[in-house]
Amino acid sequence: MASPDYGNAVTLRDDEVPVFWACGVTTQTAILQAKPEFAIIHAPGHMFVSDLKDEDLSI
């Protein structure tokens, strides 16, 4: 939390719990490292959100 890869450091108070959201940068980094044959992400400012299950999207 004190030295993030992207953005500013965050100081947590004792009554706070960190919650992590896989933003575009997180997704992009994970995909670049995993090198899947196919991936669905979002365009900047246009997040892809769906209620489809993973198994419904398998190819």
Extents of the domains making up the chain: 1-58
Per-residue model confidence (pLDDT) at position 50: 84
What would the two tokens of residue 55 be? 């198994």
Q: What is the pTM of this model?
A: 0.41
The predicted-structure confidence for 1-59, as pLDDT tens digits, reads as follows 788 877 788 888 999 998 877 677 777 888 899 999 988 777 777 777 789 898 888 77
Per-residue model confidence (pLDDT) at position 22: 64
What would the two tokens of residue 17 be? 């719990």
Per-residue model confidence (pLDDT) at position 13: 93
Per-residue model confidence (pLDDT) at position 15: 96
Q: How far apart are CA 21 and CA 40, in angstroms?
A: 17
Q: How far apart are CA 28 and CA 42, in angstroms?
A: 10
Per-residue model confidence (pLDDT) at position 35: 95
DSSP category for residue 12 = P
